[in-house]
Structure 1
Amino acid sequence: MFGLHKLYLGYNKAGIITLSCAMQGDLLLGIPVVIIYAISFIEFVLYMIKSKEGFYQDYELSKRVWL
């Protein structure tokens, strides 16, 4: 939920955006936090159900950053 998965995959820009929204989202009434948590949960589910070959194709070869 803090964007560390993006940083691990090498998507530094997306990781920093996710991390900053998660950490500073309370300043904007918590709306960015809810959005980032929802996106992170959806990505978690997608990462878990995707096969190794599909994951490699989508996130390492194609460099798919979001969902």
Structure 2
Amino acid sequence: MSTTTVFAVTGMSCSHCEKSISEEVSSLPGVTQVAADARTGTVTVSSQQPLDEAAVRAAVDEAGYELVGPA
């Protein structure tokens, strides 16, 4: 069963930001697709298992940005 969750992220302003977040979140177990969008300030994550929001938050933090919660 695949799930898709959209999260709000602060601090993204360019394609480099999007790439950094996408790379970090993509490394999480079960994640199949990540689409970060600096224009909307969101990251959309598709996963084959339920997402651990704390793990997504940690990955976004590792990229240098802040996850503020579900969008």
TM-score after normalising by structure 1: 0.32
Question: Relative to total residues, which structure has the larger helix share, 1 or 2?
Answer: 1
Using CA pairs under 8 Å that are at least 6 residues apart, name the structure with larger relative contact order, 1 or 2.
Answer: 2
Question: Relative to total residues, which structure has the larger strand share, 1 or 2?
Answer: 2
Higher alpha-carbon Rg:
1
